Copies of this chain bind each other. A is one copy, B any other.
Amino acid sequence: MSSLTIHANSHDYEVIIEEGIRHELLNYISSDYQKILIITDDKVSNIYLDDVISGLGNEFDPHITIVPAGESSKSMKQYERLLDACVEAQLDRRSLILALGGGMVGDLAGFVASTYLRGIDFIQMPTTILAHDSSVGGKVAINHQKGKNLIGSFYNPVKVIYDTGTLLTLPAEEIRSGYGEVIKHAFLSSPEWCNDLFQVSVGNLSSEQIKDDLMKGIKVKAGIVESDEREKGIRRYLNLGHTLAHAIEAELGYGKITHGEAVGIGLWFALRVSQRKLESSLPVDRYAEWLKSNHYPVEILKNLDVDTLLKRMKWDKKTVHQKINYVLLNQIGAPCVVGLSDQEIQTDLNLFIKEVSAT
């Protein structure tokens, strides 16, 4: 069993990663909890809910609430519905919410846990690779029609229970999505890890490899978040690749490309800008090959307009009149934040789209 302790502002908590632990959940949940509410979505529940319920044994008689799969459930409507479910189940301060699912379920259930009775305990049970990113760091939220994650809290789980067995049924684009954030964490930390990942085909991963990469990714994220939980400084480095990714996601319409695939493409751009602006020595061509050989949908860029993407970036960063603060790399493991003018971004984006289109 692999495990790691995260030191959050409010409390320490453990991340446990192991194949099959959903079947023996009872060993990982304190018997002090008098009630459990499982929150999950209608895709995950079909595959794993029975395992989780039987994994809890006879000790608990869990309440269950299922929301529709997909980002649109991170809504005020589902938030209200889940609070009603908490009240109906008569959860009190000695109760637990178990968030079983990907990032959407974790964000939504975590926000419910953070505000019901001014905060009750919750445990994350991620069922995607991508959720290695969101399950650590304490950001929980729902969306507003005007923007993602506009309503939320900083609130940490009491535990993260990661059964890598649940990752083996993920569709190809979800595995690519997860590895988009994984390789971002590699670029933020270690040339060796980057080289290892360049050898990997994400269509053909072993459970051991996934476990290893999740643990490394979570360590990188935890290291940064522990120094800056409230994102006043270095936590911004985690946005490497995200400025363009958010613009692509928003422009295509949410759901047209997975978040991590967009990050993978945004990272490619950030590396090219780092080369141009900082003269950084980075394995950009090698990374671009990796993206393409792993079928990241880089071709979507061909149809996007530079000026529209720039507008989206400025809206995302809420900097209409100023330079965009962009996360770049001096080298692998050495991120920095650099102000880029509109002109620079336009030029770089034009070059980048030309490069992508030529492939």
CB-based nearest B residue for A139: B118
Closest chain B CB from A314 CB (angstroms): 13
Q: A64 at the A/B interface (Cβ < 8 Å)?
A: no
Are A115 and B83 also in contact (CB < 8 A) when A92-B318, A318-B92 are? no
Main secondary structure, interface of A, reads mixed
Residues of B within 8 A of A154 (CB): 118-119
Asked if residues B141 and A118 are in contact (CB atoms below 8 Å), the reply is yes
Asked if residues A153 and B114 are in contact (CB atoms below 8 Å), the reply is yes
Asked if residues B87 and A147 are in contact (CB atoms below 8 Å), the reply is yes
Give the number of times this chain occurs in the complex, counting copies. Answer: 2
Residues of B within 8 A of A165 (CB): none
Q: A151 at the A/B interface (Cβ < 8 Å)?
A: yes
Query: What is the 8 Å Cβ interface bit string for chain A, positions 143-157, against chain B (1 contact, 0 not)?
Result: 010110111111000
> Which residues 117-150 of A have a CB within 8 angstroms of B?
117-119, 139, 141, 144, 146-147, 149-150
Complex Cα distance, B92 from A105, in Å, reads 26
Q: A116 at the A/B interface (Cβ < 8 Å)?
A: yes
Q: A76 at the A/B interface (Cβ < 8 Å)?
A: yes
Complex Cα distance, B105 from A142, in Å, reads 23
Q: A307 at the A/B interface (Cβ < 8 Å)?
A: no
CB-based nearest B residue for A112: B151
Closest chain B CB from A87 CB (angstroms): 5
Q: A24 at the A/B interface (Cβ < 8 Å)?
A: no
Complex Cα distance, B119 from A83, in Å, reads 20
Residues of B within 8 A of A115 (CB): 111, 115, 151-153
Complex Cα distance, B154 from A139, in Å, reads 16
Closest chain B CB from A338 CB (angstroms): 21
Q: A80 at the A/B interface (Cβ < 8 Å)?
A: yes
Given B84, B141, B153, which contacts A153 in the complex, CB threshold below 8 Å?
B153
CB-based nearest B residue for A142: B115
Closest chain B CB from A148 CB (angstroms): 11
CB-based nearest B residue for A144: B87
Complex Cα distance, B225 from A174, in Å, reads 46
Closest chain B CB from A157 CB (angstroms): 16
Residues of B within 8 A of A92 (CB): 318
> Which residues 56-91 of A have a CB within 8 angstroms of B?
76, 80, 83-84, 87, 90
Closest chain B CB from A353 CB (angstroms): 30
Asked if residues B87 and A150 are in contact (CB atoms below 8 Å), the reply is yes
Complex Cα distance, B84 from A84, in Å, reads 22
Given B84, B87, B146, B153, which contacts A119 in the complex, CB threshold below 8 Å?
B153
Complex Cα distance, B118 from A68, in Å, reads 24
Complex Cα distance, B80 from A152, in Å, reads 13
Complex Cα distance, B139 from A318, in Å, reads 30
Asked if residues A118 and B83 are in contact (CB atoms below 8 Å), the reply is no
Q: Which residues of A contact B (CB under 8 A)?
A: 76, 80, 83-84, 87, 90, 92, 111, 114-119, 139, 141, 144, 146-147, 149-154, 318
A-B contact pairs, 6 of them (CB 8 A): A83-B144, A83-B151, A87-B146, A90-B318, A116-B150, A153-B153
What 4 A-B pairs come out closest when comparing CB atoms? A118-B152, A87-B146, A115-B151, A92-B318
